[in-house]
């Protein structure tokens, strides 16, 4: 393996597009740390971050012919890593919603509805509501509800009290419930997001 740090990026991209593996290795070692840190900052999951990082650079190799030599590669890598990280969080949210719904159905009905299926509309509606939260409240909500962190962990991460974390969660739940019910075009999609909120 030869790492050619002295070669300008546009030349490395040209070599990469020609199938040069050493150029790929050079770009990987030039950018993997900052891209990895960015992914981890979004997902807060070391294992998932490693997997996503590999996916990003696999995409770089597979889509090398679409790269533009006059544009910074870092921009491309950050966009791809962000999109893949958000896809991971969406899938995690979907699993959280599914688990919460199944548990609620089991408690209420003594059994499971075999034909339950989370719809894309439900997920998009909940995502839209979360995006409307104030920044700090959104951070608290995401860490508690989607990343599964305890109030104590979130309080330490954000340098706030556990009481403040709880207050943010209560207000976030109230806002999201109201947001969901104020979207009449999505009434068919509200059931499971509301269940999700009531599980905490």
Taking 50 as the pLDDT cut, the residues of the chain under it are: 1, 110-119, 186-196, 198-200
Query: What is the rounded distance in angstroms from the CA atom of residue 122 to the CA atom of residue 113?
Result: 17
Model pLDDT, residue 126: 76
| 9-87 is a CATH 1.10.1740.10 domain | yes
| 119-198 is a CATH 1.10.10.10 domain | yes
Residues 6+ apart with CB under 8 A from 47: none
pLDDT digits (tens, 9 = 90+) for 65-102: 999 888 889 889 988 998 898 888 888 877 766 665 55
The full set of domain ranges for the chain reads 9-87, 119-198
Helix (H) or strand (E) segment spanning residue 80: helix 73-109
Residue 120 main-chain phi, psi, to 5 deg: -60, -35
Model pLDDT, residue 4: 64
Give the pair of three-digit tokens for residue 28: 């990987």
Query: What does R_g of the chain's alpha carbons equal in angstroms?
Result: 21
Model pLDDT, residue 125: 76
Answer for the pair 118, 96: CB distance below 8 angstroms, yes or no. Answer: no
Give the pair of three-digit tokens for residue 185: 């075009």
Query: What is the rounded distance in angstroms from the CA atom of residue 135 to the CA atom of residue 126?
Result: 16
Residue for token digits 């104590």? 152
Query: What is the rounded distance in angstroms from the CA atom of residue 100 to the CA atom of residue 51?
Result: 26
Residues 6+ apart with CB under 8 A from 168: 136, 137, 140, 141
Answer for the pair 2, 25: CB distance below 8 angstroms, yes or no. Answer: yes
């Amino acid at each position: 393996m030869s790492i050619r740090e002295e070669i300008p990026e546009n030349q490395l991209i040209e070599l990469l597009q020609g199938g040069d593996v050493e150029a790929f290795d050079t770009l990987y070692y030039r950018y993997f740390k900052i891209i990895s840190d960015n992914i981890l900052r979004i997902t807060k999951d070391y294992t998932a971050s490693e997997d996503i990082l590999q996916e990003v650079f696999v995409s770089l190799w597979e889509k090398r012919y679409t790269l533009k030599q006059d544009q910074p590669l870092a921009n491309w890598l950050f966009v791809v890593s962000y999109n893949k990280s958000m896809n991971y969080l969406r899938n995690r949210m979907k699993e959280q919603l599914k688990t919460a719904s199944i548990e609620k159905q089991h408690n209420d009905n003594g059994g499971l509805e075999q034909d339950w299926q989370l719809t894309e509309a439900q997920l998009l509606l909940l995502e839209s509501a979360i995006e409307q939260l104030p920044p700090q409240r959104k951070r608290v909500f995401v860490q508690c509800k989607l990343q599964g962190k305890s109030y104590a962990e979130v309080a330490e991460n954000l340098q706030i009290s556990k009481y403040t974390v709880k207050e943010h969660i209560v207000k976030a739940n109230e806002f999201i419930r109201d947001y969901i019910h104020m979207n009449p075009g999505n009434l068919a999609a509200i059931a499971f997001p509301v269940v999700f909120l009531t599980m905490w």
